[in-house]
Amino acid sequence: MANFCDRWIALIPKFYPKSWRKLGYYLGLGGAIAALIILGFNPQAIAYKKSHLAQLIDTNACLSCNLQAAPLGGRDLRGADIEDANLRQADFKGAKLQGANLLGANLQDADFQNANLGAANLEGADMQRVQLPGVYMYRANLENVLATNANMARVNLGGSNLQRADFSSATLEDASLKNADLRRASFALADLTEANLERGDLRGSNFVEANLTDATLKYADLRGAHFGQANLFRTNFKSTTLDSETALDSKSLLIWELVNEPALGVDLTSQDLSGANLESVTLLGADLTETNLAGAYLFIVNGQGGRFAQSNWEEAALKYVEFNNADLQDANFHGAEIRNTDFRGADLRGSDFREAQIETTDFRGAQFQLANLANIKLEAGTLIDPKWEQISKLQTLGAQGQALQRADLSDAYLAGMNFQRAILTGANLRGADLSNADLTNARVADVDFTDANLEGTIFNNTYVCRTTLAIAPPDFCGYWNGEPPEPEAAPDAETTPNSNPTPDPTTTPNSDAIPQPSSGQ
């Protein structure tokens, strides 16, 4: 660069003022920089020394060498000594580096994809933005490393020494840190989604604003660890050790106590346990009335006989949970994943199971009166009363034009349902919620509406005959538009294909036998 500028200034006549010549120098320098930017500066232009690369290949050692951007992919460098080397942007893809010494090396932006660094020594190395996805680093030494913004997803650091390492803003998704020494390490703003830190020593470690969604900390030592503003959604705190210096928010502390210090009959009324990981928790006799468990994870949980009325389980995951004879009135299971769970004899009146995914679950004897079962996915092995399975299908597919003769829809939640042109001859709608339902052009003969909720129900050109509607005489047969009707004769054979005022139970929804208004109406 200096030679270029010197040549440029030599073109300026010597009789020009010194200030002009100085200006020419800087113009030349600026032009050179601009050219580099326009043409694209390649950092590899400042590359490794070929002699250093040859030395490493020949001797398996090169201390303090310049190996920047060196092509080392696939090399067998087991036990290599590359201490304090400049390895920025080096290509180690697929290299074998077991037991290698990279103490204090500059590894910024280096690529180790598919490499093996088992038992390697990287103490004090600069690993900013390093690429280590899925790399095997079991029992490696990363003490005091600087690995901010590193990509270490799925890395295996089990049993490794990570004391005082800085992984701020690094990606450690699905990483294995099992049995690792993480004392005073920093994971601030790091992504540890589904990471395994089981039995790790995390004393004094920093997880401020880290993402620990679905991470497991089972049996980990968390004394003095800081979790301020961390995302602890479904984080597993089973058998972890805390002390007065551990920084956890009040909600997480409550979850920790519930998981690690169980008590029979505990009162958790109206508590916020959303996103809690409640693996192997005992809730026998517990009171979780109006408790928020949205997104919670329950695995092998005993809640027999518990009080869970109006509790919220939206999008929760329940596996091997016992709710036998539990009170779950008006509970919300919208979008929940429910597997191998026992609801036998449970009170599920008024509950909401919309869009829940249910597999190998037992609902025998459960009470589903006025429950919303629309769009539930009943997969293999689920046991449920055929009545409620039929009602679930009806809530999902709708009732427009459906043949529902003699159907048992008692106590069913049918609010807002479209029953247009449906045939309900002989159906049992006792206690059903038909608020805002639409019965336009439907056949409603010999139907029991006792205790049904008919608030806002639309009766428009509805053929009504011998029903228990409070505002219609029991022997009335005719078309009704929602007002107290005047008794009239059923349509005769000349005006309708069916002369029988009571609809034929075998008539199909789209049959021409559906009665039409008489000419006088």
pLDDT tens for 415-435 read: 999 999 999 999 999 999 999
Residue pair 451/430 in contact (Cβ under 8 Å)? The answer is yes
Give the contacts of 141 (CB within 8 A, at least 6 positions apart): 120, 121, 122, 123, 160, 161
> Taking every pair of C-alpha atoms in the chain, what is the biggest distance, in angstroms?
123
Phi-psi region of 353 (alpha: psi -120 to 50; beta: other; left: phi over 0): alpha
- For residue 11, the Cα-to-chain-centroid distance in whole angstroms is 68
**What is the SS3 string spanning 416-471?**
CCECCCCECCCCECCCCECCCCECCCCEEECCECCCCECCCCECCCEEEECCCCCC
Per-residue pLDDT, 267: 93
What are the distances in angstroms from CA 361 to CA 20, 324, 357, 365?
Answer: 88, 12, 10, 12
Count CB atoms within 10 A of the CB of residue 86: 23
CB 121 within 8 A of CB 142: no
DSSP annotation of 504 reads: P
Residue 131 and residue 380: Cα distance in Å, rounded?
Answer: 43
Instruction: Name the helix (H) or strand (E) containing 320.
Output: strand 317-322
Give 483's strand partners.
Answer: none
DSSP three-state, residue 136:
strand
SS3 286: coil
CB 203 within 8 A of CB 225: yes
C-alpha to C-alpha distance for 335 and 295, rounded to whole angstroms: 10
Q: Which residues pair with 321 in a beta bridge?
A: 301
Residue 60 DSSP code: S
Map tokens 């696939």 to a residue.
74
- Sheet with 337-339, strands from edge to edge, namely 277-279, 297-302, 317-322, 337-339, 357-359, 377-378
Give SS3 for 55: helix
Tokens 């030395």 sit at which residue?
Answer: 55
Residue-level pLDDT at 264: 79
- Domain spans, the chain: 2-41
Cβ atoms of 338 and 323 within 8 Å: the answer is no
E strand or H helix at 393: helix 386-397
pLDDT value of position 504:
44
Tokens standing for 132? 């280590």
Q: What is the structure's pLDDT at 147? A: 98
Given this model, what pLDDT does residue 357 score? Answer: 97
Q: Cα dist. 516→198, 457, 458, 485, 507 in Å?
A: 72, 20, 17, 17, 14
CB 186 within 8 A of CB 162: no
Average pLDDT score, the chain: 88
Which residues have C-beta within 8 Å of that of residue 215, sequence separation ≥ 6? 192, 193, 194, 195, 196, 197, 235, 236
Its sign, for the CA torsion 87, 88, 94, 99, is positive
Burial class of residue 352 in the structure, from the number of CB atoms within 10 Å of its CB (0-12 exposed, 13-18 middle, 19+ buried): buried
Which one-letter DSSP state was computed for residue 178?
T
φ and ψ at residue 465, rounded to 5 degrees:
-155, 125
Query: Cα-flanking dihedrals φ and ψ of residue 277, to 5°?
Result: -100, 110
Phi and psi angles of residue 64, each rounded to the nearest 5 degrees, phi first: 55, 30
Number of H helices and number of E strands within the chain? 5, 9
Residue segments in the chain with a per-residue pLDDT below the cut of 50: 2, 4, 8, 15-16, 20, 23, 35-36, 38-45, 488-490, 492-521
The pLDDT score that the predictor gives to residue 89 is 98
- Name the pTM for this structure: 0.81
* Complete DSSP assignment for 85-120: -B-TT-B-TT-B-TT-B-TT-B-TT-B-TT-B-TT-
One-letter-per-residue 3-state SS of 339-387: ECCECCCCECCCCECCCCEEECCECCCCECCCCECCCCEECCCCECCHH
